[in-house]
Amino acid sequence: GYAISLRTRAWIETHFGWLKAAAGMRQVKQRGLTKVEALFQLAMAASNLVRLPKLIAAGAA
Residue 42's pLDDT is 92
Cβ-contact 20, 26 below 8 angstroms: yes
Residue 24's pLDDT is 83
Domain range list for the chain: 1-60
**Rounded Cα–Cα distance for residues 52 and 18 (Å):** 15
Residue 25's pLDDT is 84
Residue 3's pLDDT is 92
Cβ-contact 25, 43 below 8 angstroms: yes
| Average pLDDT along the chain, 61 residues, taken 10 residues at a time | 93 89 86 93 91 88 72
Three-state SS letters, the chain: CHHHHHHHHHHHHHHHHHHHHCCCCCCCCCCCHHHHHHHHHHHHHHHHHHHHHHHHHHHHC
Task: Give this prediction's pTM.
Answer: 0.72
